[in-house]
Structure 1
Amino acid sequence: MKLFSKISLQLIAFLLLSHNIAAQNIPVPMSPPRLVNDFANVFSETERQALENKLLTYNDTTSTQIYVVTVNDLDGYAVSDYAFRIGEKWEVGQKGKDNGAVILIKPKIGNSRGQTYISVGYGLEGSIPDGYAGRIIRNRMIPYFNDGDYFSGVNAAIDSMIKRLEGEFDPEMEKEEGIPLPTIIIFAIFFIIFITIISKRGDQNIDSDGSSKSGPVFFPPIMGGGRRGSFGSGGGFGGGGFGGGGGGRFGGGGAGGSW
């Protein structure tokens, strides 16, 4: 029993240490505080300042904080997890509003693929849902990133996010992209199964007097209801980011892409 307790304590200590080491891999914000943290140096000084001015103006007029972060290495994290952890550690967003967002870019270096992710706080998920964030990445960012033009891609993404947050309609970004093929296939399979079951029940449920009798028909659930699980950590984007921050929480909303 004592041996078991000792092993359990050692395991707990190891897990805590591993968590702390992993957390240390997430960089601290640049000093002095800024909204564009270009650790990968993909922007020129002029480009950095242009993005900073745009984001700072929007932050000052709306209190919504959009961070741009570039890194050369994700340190083993999935790009979505890395973006979330940056927001959590840096405490992006205003307390009580949860209105923070992180645009993360890991540029394409050598044979490694480039990756990007837009992570949004709870307060912005209604305005920038996952599907819209995905369209921003596919339509506004990656086409420029493929040409090595990170500034234009990020600038276009910021413009699209601000327009959406301000309620401005963008026909190209709002248009429906149709039902995904996997969803069509799933519905087709269940439809065929349903028709087959109904046909067999019709053949089997004929009484001796020629009348039909039928029982209840059960419909199998086709699609899950609700969003994917959140990233845990109730602390969320806490409070100490640029311009004050104060407590935005992130629940896993956002989308990513690679090139």
Structure 2
Amino acid sequence: MMKKVIFLLGTFSFLASAPVGAVEFPELAEDIYIQDIADVLTPAEEEELRRLGTELEDATTAQLAVMAVPSLEGKPIADYALEALRHYGIGTKEENNGALMVISTGDREIYISTGYGLEAVLPDGEVGRILDGYAIPYLKQDEYGKGIMNTYKALYKEIAAAYDWNNTSLAAQPAVQQSSVPDEKDDWLIPRGIIVVGIVIWIVISLFGDGAGRGNSKNSGRRSSSSSRRSSSGSSRSSGGGSRSSRGGSGGGGGAGRKF
């Protein structure tokens, strides 16, 4: 009797822990690069994604794919993306250098899953930065085409750079603009102008000014020097190629996602 109870408890525990509702991924319609099940991309956008995907794979052997779905079917998006990455065998078997962008319009989530071969190229922090700058501002406005295309191009450029392949034709623009960094030449023009003006004033005062004027000039210089030191102190505180037939990557190296 006790053995039967133990057997039934064990069977129940096994069934309870077994995965339920496994996702059935659709077969590839044309190629590995785009699965627009949610129908959010225009034919022109799909064509460009296929062109870019083929171009990137031919040059680097890495595969970058997009999957847009209406629902995750109750599955966490990180698990969904990883299962899809493995199901479609994105990336080569030898290098496992595939990446998959999954967008769920119904769940309003996006996730990028990467194979082990791209883990150093697209670390989680960098993927999150790309999503924040290139995807989320567009996806929040339901501009799926712009969000997907810009994000794809940003990922494309990171992968291409890691393989020392430069394609200058891409122009992915982040929706969230970073603060501009002033040009070093422009930085130098301002203090150089101040120095020139200061020298001219000093010469004029030296030639035509009296002692009081020279004294005022010295005091002014000291004040200017003190102000310059304070400004400097404040500044320092504020700065603080393979064949497409060889695909078959199976492991996931990491990834990052966002809600929108």
TM-score range, shorter chain: 0.5 to 0.7
* TM-score normalized by the length of structure 1: 0.63
2:4 aligns with 2
**Distance in 2 separating the partners of 1:26 and 1:126:** 30
- Kept after mapping to 2: 8 A contact 1:47/1:151: yes
2:103 aligns with 105
State how many pairs are aligned: 184
1:121 aligns with 115
Unaligned runs of 5+ in 1: 177-241
How many Å apart are 1:85 and its aligned residue?
Answer: 1.3
**Percent of matched pairs sharing the same residue:** 27
- Kept after mapping to 2: 8 A contact 1:96/1:248: no
Deviation sequence 1:149-181 (CA, Å, 0-9, x none): 22221121122112212337x9x89x89xxxxx
How many Å apart are 1:9 and its aligned residue?
Answer: 3.0
- Kept after mapping to 2: 8 A contact 1:29/1:37: no
SS in 1 for 2:102: strand
RMSD: 2.7
- Kept after mapping to 1: 8 A contact 2:115/2:249: no
**Distance in 1 separating the partners of 2:49 and 2:249:** 24
Q: How has the CA–CA distance of structure 1 residues 243 and 145 changed in structure 2, closer, same or farther, with 3 Å as cutoff? A: farther
Q: After the TM superposition, which residues 211-250 of structure 1 pair with which residues of structure 2 at under 5 Å, given as runs?
A: 243-250=245-252
Unaligned runs of 5+ in 2: 167-171, 180-243
**Distance in 2 separating the partners of 1:75 and 1:145:** 20
Q: After the TM superposition, which residues 166-245 of structure 1 pair with which residues of structure 2 at under 5 Å, given as runs?
A: 166-167=160-161, 243-245=245-247
Deviation sequence 1:39-81 (CA, Å, 0-9, x none): 1000122211111111122112211011100111111111111
How many Å apart are 1:14 and its aligned residue?
Answer: 5.5
1:50 aligns with 48
**Distance in 2 separating the partners of 1:26 and 1:255:** 23
Higher helix share: 2
Q: How has the CA–CA distance of structure 1 residues 60 and 22 changed in structure 2, closer, same or farther, with 3 Å as cutoff? A: farther
**Distance in 2 separating the partners of 1:145 and 1:10:** 43
How many Å apart are 1:13 and its aligned residue?
Answer: 4.6
* TM-score normalized by the length of structure 2: 0.63
Please point out which of 30, 37, 40 is paired with 1:39: 37
Name the larger-Rg structure.
Answer: 2
